[in-house]
Amino acid sequence: MQIVITGAAGFLGSKLARQLLQNGKLVGRSGKPEAISRITLTDVSVPVGFSDPRIQVMAGDISDPQTIAAIITPDTNSIFHLAAIVSGQAETDFDLGMAINFDATRAILDRARALGTRPRMVFTSSVAVFGGNLPTRVPDAMATFPQSSYGAQKAMCELLVSDYSRRGFVDGRTLRLPTISVRPGTPNKAASSFASGIIREPLNGQAATCPVQSGTRMWLMSPQQAVRNLIHGHELDANKLSATRTISLPGLSITVRDMVAALERVAGADVTRRIEWSEDEAIKRIVNSWPGDFEAQKAKELGFNSDADYDSIIRAYLHDQQTP
Amino acid sequence: MQIVITGAAGFLGSKLARQLLQNGKLVGRSGKPEAISRITLTDVSVPVGFSDPRIQVMAGDISDPQTIAAIITPDTNSIFHLAAIVSGQAETDFDLGMAINFDATRAILDRARALGTRPRMVFTSSVAVFGGNLPTRVPDAMATFPQSSYGAQKAMCELLVSDYSRRGFVDGRTLRLPTISVRPGTPNKAASSFASGIIREPLNGQAATCPVQSGTRMWLMSPQQAVRNLIHGHELDANKLSATRTISLPGLSITVRDMVAALERVAGADVTRRIEWSEDEAIKRIVNSWPGDFEAQKAKELGFNSDADYDSIIRAYLHDQQTP
């Protein structure tokens, strides 16, 4: 079993790689667990921190089809395509967003088609495909009216992955991830960056700014749960998917106010006092266009899971920080 | 007012051009009717049959950005982008479908963006964007799960037109057209070709094959009504559009059996006896994935119209054939 992970320098890609190495096997086309012989990690910068002999590292620009051809080879069984320009950056740099979020995904699909090997492919999409006048709980059959270029690019790729799969060019599965919280590391240019920052920075003794109102409802998933769901998305039988390869994952629906209350329960009021509330109109516009709750009926039927509560998400973050 | 029509050698494009010439004016950015000074007709083959001095004819491949640049110029106020590879052909020739249905649309949008003139653009999409497990009447907020590459390509372009409009690169309006019936001319490679053929050929004294079951429910619009709606779609105020630029048009929901009954009422049983019933699995698979009825609530609020009944659609076809 030879696996490719794009965006592997990101926290989710590297966490997925570590989990796959630890598992040692993965269910693929045979329907049975197969030993993982190689994981190719690729990103614009070289993914670091791996010493396992099964890891191969390749830096490159995935908007270049020649780079894609070097990464995805005839012996590639599986692709986890996580690389993306995040929402805030794709809004300010339209061309970069189109190149990485759309053209690179198309290039990966075309490479799979040209090889004729029909690899399994897990592609990550986002709640940002939704927008406009939404019901309180978004059903699986909700139309995608994205209000950001990031969301539009992800929605277009969902259609590509489904059509390439329907035609047998690839065995794709698109997972619409909730906002990931608590993401380790430093703030990024995602409009949702604060959803980790207001927990992570105060826990590290630093100030954090919350750019949205406290009543804003978020749809969240912990990194640990996301990795489990990415692997489950790879392993499930494609025959259980019907008219689309796109699956809205279950998540935790919670207001920012309740996220902060959970932080206070776990770490105390001295920590939550480090949060500054200062609204940012550009971030609010994007975040408020995203739904805060989903039915995720199909995903639940397919065995995907959500986190139990936000307190345990914070505790899992603290645990992970202590055991990197 | 300078207008570009792509796919202008097609029956809908040429009918639209004739109607615009007859009207002599069109409402654009000013919100008032403006005199039409030029209509540029473009297609792979040269559109013929026009002698009006306002008509400019250009043949070219719109998947080539240089062709697009020659067609859409700084003085272009309006674009009716109708050119497409039809559903059946896009299914058998995937690359051609992607090149014309997707890449050319993107090239037109990018040309508008590069010019910075924010032209009005009417783009035609289709019921083929829908598929899977659908309610009897499809609501405006229904998810697009296309079951053909044509439908996937149209759905991707809907997202592009909305995002390019949201960003102010273009003032786009995507109209999801019902199946057009009765289309004049000869059969084409659209899976829906029969929806005109089973009326047109018998009326011309020729045999026609119906490849679907008589109970199949179709969502139809006459060419005359389609042209009126295309012009209305151009003229409406963009401020009335909200989270998306995509509008599912109203139509006539009717079974193939009732289409044939209408033909018998209008033209007699001698005519309907020329229809042969011979199911075609490939056509059935595509046509049966399309919805047969829509709410089209937003379109009705915006003033789009449907045909009253199928008898009058057939009579309008006969009338048009006598007065070309």
Pick from B159, B241, B245 the residue to mutate for testing the A interface (most A CBs within 10 Å): B159
- Any domain includes B207: no
B79: domain CATH number is 3.40.50.720
Q: Is the pLDDT of residue B237 over 70?
A: yes
Of residues B143, B160, B163, nearest to A141 (C-beta)? B143
The reply to whether residue B243 touches residue A159, judged by beta carbons under 8 angstroms, is: no
C-alpha span between A163 and B149 (Å, rounded): 6
Determine contact, residues B59/B45, Cβ cutoff 8 Å. yes
Q: Which residues of B are catalytic?
A: 150
- Any domain includes A299: yes
Please tell me the total number of residues recorded for chain A in this structure. 324
Q: Closest Cα partner for B248 from B284, B192, B310, B302?
A: B302
pLDDT at position A324, please? 55
Of residues A144, A152, A167, nearest to B94 (C-beta)? A167
- Any domain includes A28: yes
- Any domain includes B261: no
Tokens 């109109």 appear where?
A281
pLDDT digits (tens, 9 = 90+) for B267-309: 999 999 999 999 999 999 989 988 999 999 999 999 999 999 9
- Any domain includes A235: yes
What is the ipTM score, two decimals?
0.95
Q: Is the pLDDT of residue B324 over 70?
A: no
Which residues in chain A have their CB less than 8 angstroms from residue B142's CB?
A: 141, 143
Distance from the B140 Cα atom to the nearest Cα atom in chain A, whole angstroms = 8
Distance from the B202 Cα atom to the nearest Cα atom in chain A, whole angstroms = 36
The reply to whether residue A144 touches residue B159, judged by beta carbons under 8 angstroms, is: yes
pLDDT at position A289, please? 87
Query: What letter does residue B24 receive in the DSSP assignment?
Result: -
Q: Which residues of A touch B (CB under 8 A)?
A: 94, 131-133, 140-147, 149, 152, 155-156, 159-160, 162-163, 166-167, 242-244
Neighbours of B37 (CB within 10 A): 11
C-alpha span between B60 and A115 (Å, rounded): 33
The reply to whether residue B243 touches residue A147, judged by beta carbons under 8 angstroms, is: yes
Distance from the A278 Cα atom to the nearest Cα atom in chain B, whole angstroms = 26
- Any domain includes A164: yes
How far is the first Cα of chain A from the last one, in angstroms, to the nearest whole number?
A: 26
> Furthest-apart CA pair in chain A: how many Å?
58
- Any domain includes B201: no
- A57 φ, ψ to 5°? -115, 130
Pick from A160, A162, A163 the residue to mutate for testing the B interface (most B CBs within 10 Å): A163
Determine contact, residues A304/A247, Cβ cutoff 8 Å. yes
Which residues in chain A have their CB less than 8 angstroms from residue B131's CB?
A: 243
How many structural domains does chain A have? Answer: 1
pLDDT at position B214, please? 96
3-class SS of residue A1: coil
Distance from the B9 Cα atom to the nearest Cα atom in chain A, whole angstroms = 29
- Any domain includes A172: yes
Q: What would the DSSP string read from start to end of A189-214?
A: SSTTTHHHHHHHHHHTT--EEE-S-T
Determine contact, residues B267/B203, Cβ cutoff 8 Å. yes
C-alpha span between B289 and B259 (Å, rounded): 19
Determine contact, residues B187/B197, Cβ cutoff 8 Å. yes
Mean pLDDT, range B213-239, rounded to an integer: 97
pLDDT tens sequence for chain A (324 residues): 999 999 999 999 999 999 999 999 999 999 999 999 999 999 999 888 899 999 999 999 999 999 999 999 999 999 999 999 998 999 999 999 999 999 999 999 999 999 999 999 999 999 999 999 999 999 999 999 999 999 999 999 999 999 999 999 999 999 999 999 999 999 988 889 999 999 999 999 999 999 999 999 999 999 999 999 999 999 999 999 989 999 999 999 999 999 999 999 999 999 999 999 999 999 999 899 889 999 999 999 999 999 999 999 999 999 998 875
Q: What is the mean pLDDT of chain B?
A: 96
Host domain of residue A35 = 2-178+221-250+292-307
